[in-house]
Structure 1
Amino acid sequence: MKIVHFHFGKDGGAERFFVHLVNAFAKRGVEQQVVIRPGRPWRASFDPSVRVIESHFRTASLDRVLLPLRVRSMIRKWKPDGILGWMPKGAKLVPGEEGPIRLARLGDYPTSLKKFRNIDVLVCNTPGIARHVRDMGWLRRVEVISNFTGTAVVKPVARGILDTPEDAYVVSSMGRFVPRKGFDVLVRMLARKPDIYLWLVGGGEEEQNLRELAAETGVADRLRFAGWQQDPQPYIAASDCFAMASSHEPLGNVILEAWAQDVPVVSTRSEGPTWFMRDGNNGLMVAIGDHNAFGEAIDRLQSDPGLARHLIEGGRKTLNRMFSEDAVVNAYINLISAG
């Protein structure tokens, strides 16, 4: 089988899953070519069998004209079985000519269907996104195929790397530092929890605001910025709890990564988590934007190790049942094979 991918994302959970899926296909012997932005730090994580093409696809650039021509030529010569455009921008590059099955993978709720005009099947990673595109008027095929993450428990980093006492209670979180991720809520939570440290793995436009908020609220001495990590799992594994504070989260791949490291999760009741999480069964769920509720949930975990173990077990069961690598890869291969 041969697959072409178009992905113009930057850095974050969606990009980590993209690499996971490409490498999982490679393990099955699938030949692949990927078109990505130049200079992505995760490029080196691709399996060596994957051919990588780097190009921008900006509106005001020569690439906007030349890249579609290059892609059409490559598809005619290489004859892939499937073309997969990731998110609206990747979908826009998918040619309109008849041939291999043309898929667009959606990990968020689109605001328009215009960029999917050449797409045969929308692959949505949650039922909510699938309902959304149907409600917008999409009449072609829709499939729900979710994400997976590596399930092996890794060796945690030493807490001294982030100047944190070994006996401290550590809450971790991860993602792009943008307003909808709610990292400010977790910083405010620190003020009512003077006995914990907060590790933030990632980076982005809000970092300076978060540092200023930490200084204003007097918690800067217990807030640690780990930066972007090619492999963030050892940082999650070193924590006692993982917090996901997003106000809008279509799936919440970071929760799956925390479950894979046997770390209990506290999450907001945003779109994705309300699909696969059950409060008190595989995690604790709190209202969006409520830093006091996050603190109360973490209080429960700290004071009740039995509850933490119960949530870890529930998270592992959900991960294996709903988000296994075999199930996800098989679903894609079956979809492409059927044409």
Structure 2
Amino acid sequence: MKVLLVLGAGGEGGAETFYTHITLALHRAGIETHTALRQNDNRVSLFKGAGIETLVLPFGKLFDFKTKKGLKQKVKEFKPDVVMTFMNRATSLCPKGDFLHLARLGGYYKLKNYKNCDHLIGNTKDIVDYLISVGWPAERSHHVPNFASVEVDAAPVSRADLNTPDDATVLLSLGRLHENKAFDTLLRAAKIEARPYVWIAGEGPLREELEALAKELGVQGRVRFLGWRNDRGALLAAADICVFPSRFEPFGSVMIEAWATKTPLVTTRTAGPEEMATDNHDALMVPVDDHRGMAAAISRVMDEEGLAERLTAAGFETYRKDYTEEACVQNYIDLFEKLLAQEKRIAS
């Protein structure tokens, strides 16, 4: 089986991170995997280092005459059985051809860019329900969840390097510095529960605004803005609690990363966490934008005897059952094989 994976975004985010990890995982599983993507030094280096054939294209918005031509040539030369595209731009620019075109969706996207796809994959059941509700055929809608893409047994980062006392409780939150991720709620919670240090790993348009809010709240001395990091496993290994404060989250890769690394999890009740987690079992769940409830949940993990251990044991079992790399990759391979067999039967 030959699979071409296509990404038109050049930045860092949840979809881009999963694209990187599923590409490498399929390659490790023995699938003949090629990539076509917009320039990103980290991704290109990882793919080339793994021996994955990599084509860099502009994926521009206007006056880009190279990308469509380059994709057509790639398809002609590689002759993929499956082309899997990620996000709007890559999907809309994908040429037609003698291959199965699948698009993977990690959000509730408008389907105008997906009309030429053969099948759509949602990483949550709720996204699949959304696709069907807006008219996409149910028989061409499929659910395949993400997997935890962290180094499970990573050595912890040095707290001293991050100007954090060794005996402090550390809250870690990861994600793009965007309104949807609600890091402002976490900062407000940190003003109420004033014992922990807060590490925020991510980059984005709200960096200056969040730094200003931390100063306004008087918590800047305990908050560390770490920028975008590629050592999430090491950060989780060094942290005491993972906090996932999003106000909108279709899936929530951070959750399964916390479970995989046995880090107690506090999360909000958004779509992904509601589908995946069970309150007071594998996570503590609080309403969106409820900084007081978040502070109380953090205090519980810190103070309630045995709670952290119960959460991490149950979370690790949830991860082991549903969200390992092996399970996710096998789900994708099984889906590819099933759909290709269907196409073959139809053709014959």
Q: Which moved more, 1:217-226 or 1:15-24?
A: 15-24
One-letter code of the match for 2:302?
A: Q
TM-fit CA distance, 1:286: 0.2
So what's the TM-score if we normalise by structure 2? 0.93
Distance between the aligned counterparts of 1:327 and 1:96, measured in 2? 30
TM-fit CA distance, 1:40: 4.0
Residue identity (%): 33
1:179-214 Cα deviation digits (max 9, x unpaired): 110001111111112211100001111010011001
TM-fit CA distance, 1:154: 1.3
The alignment's C-alpha RMSD in Å is: 1.4
Question: Structure 1 residue 137 and structure 2 residue 135: aligned?
Answer: yes
TM-fit CA distance, 1:260: 1.4
1:286-323 Cα deviation digits (max 9, x unpaired): 00001111110011111124011000011101101111
So what's the TM-score if we normalise by structure 1? 0.95
TM-fit CA distance, 1:337: 2.2
Q: Kindly indicate whether the alpha-carbon contact (under 8 Å) linking 2:82 and 2:101 is maintained by their aligned counterparts in 1.
A: yes
Q: Kindly indicate whether the alpha-carbon contact (under 8 Å) linking 1:237 and 1:258 is maintained by their aligned counterparts in 2.
A: no
Equivalent residue for 1:90?
90
- Pick from 119, 122, 128: which aligns with 1:121? 119
One-letter code of the match for 2:186?
A: L
Q: Would you identify which runs of 4 or more consecutive aligned residues in structure 1 move more than 4 Å?
A: none
Structure 1's 335 and 229: CA in aligned 2 closer, same or farther, altered over 3 A? same
TM-fit CA distance, 1:259: 1.3
Distance between the aligned counterparts of 2:335 and 2:95, measured in 1? 19
Equivalent residue for 2:311?
311
Distance between the aligned counterparts of 1:41 and 1:212, measured in 2? 30
One-letter code of the match for 1:258?
A: A
SS in 2 for 1:41: helix
Equivalent residue for 2:345?
none
- Pick from 37, 40, 48: which aligns with 2:50? 48
1:29-78 Cα deviation digits (max 9, x unpaired): 2222212221343332235221121222222132xx32112211221222
One-letter code of the match for 1:101?
A: L
SS in 2 for 1:224: strand
Question: Structure 1 residue 61 and structure 2 residue 56: aligned?
Answer: no
Aligned residue pair count: 335
Distance between the aligned counterparts of 2:297 and 2:249, measured in 1? 20
SS in 2 for 1:42: helix
Equivalent residue for 1:197?
197
One-letter code of the match for 1:152?
A: V
Aligned pairs (5 A) from 1:137-216: 137-139=135-137, 141-150=140-149, 152-216=152-216
Distance between the aligned counterparts of 2:281 and 2:44, measured in 1? 37
SS in 1 for 2:306: helix
Equivalent residue for 2:343?
none
Equivalent residue for 2:344?
none
Equivalent residue for 2:274?
274
Distance between the aligned counterparts of 1:157 and 1:163, measured in 2? 12
